[in-house]
Amino acid sequence: MEQRISLITLGVQDLATSTAFYEALGWQRSMRQAEGVSFFQCGGLAFALWPWANLAADAGISPERSGVGGFALAYNTRTREEVDAVLAEVAEVAVLGAVIVKPATEVFWGGYSGYFRDLDGHLWEVAWNPGFALDAAGAVTLPE
C-alpha cells in the first residue's frame, strides 16, 4: 500500500444544502453531471459529499453505527488485482485490530472495491476506479 490517500468522502444528511455550503466558500464542483454525489478536486486529492445512508450501505455497515459525521478515506489502486492485494495486506496485520468490513466486489459505478476499518473504526475504501486517473505519484484527477 503506497503512502497516499485518494479521496475523502464526508457522509451528509442533505446533499444539496451541504454542497451549497462548500460552494458558498468558493469551491467548484467537478463532474457536475454526477447525480447523488458532489465531487471537488483538491490538488491531488478528491473530496466528495455523499448521503451518509448511501456510504454506509456501500460499505455494508449500519448507518446507525457511525451516524452523522461518518466519513471514509479511500485508497485507489492502479489495477483491479491490487485491491485484493491491499486488503490481504490489511488482513495480514489484523492482529493489530483492523477489520475487513467488506471484501472486494464489483460495484455499481463500474469498479471493484472493498472496505476496512482501522483500529479506531475509521473507514477506508480500497478501490479500483478506471474512471479516476492516477498519476505516477498517485495524485487523483477527477474526470470532466
Residues near its own copies, by CB under 8 A: 1-5, 8, 10-14, 17-18, 20-22, 24-28, 40-45, 47, 52, 66, 68-71, 73, 89-90, 93, 96-98, 118-122, 137-139
| CA angle centred on 89, ends 88 and 95, rounded to 5° | 100
Closest approach, Cβ 31 to its own copies, in A, equals 14
Q: Which is nearer to its own copies, 13 or 110 (CB)?
A: 13
Q: Which is nearer to its own copies, 19 or 113 (CB)?
A: 19
- Here the cell at position 8 is 475523502
Closest approach, Cβ 65 to its own copies, in A, equals 9
First to last CA, the chain: 28
Q: Which is nearer to its own copies, 70 or 111 (CB)?
A: 70
Q: What is the 3 state secondary structure string of 18-65?
A: HHHHHHHCCCCEECCCCCCCEEEEECCEEEEEEEHHHHHHHHCCCHHH
Closest approach, Cβ 58 to its own copies, in A, equals 17
Q: Which is nearer to its own copies, 68 or 108 (CB)?
A: 68
Give which of 68, 38, 55 is closest to 127, Cα–Cα: 55
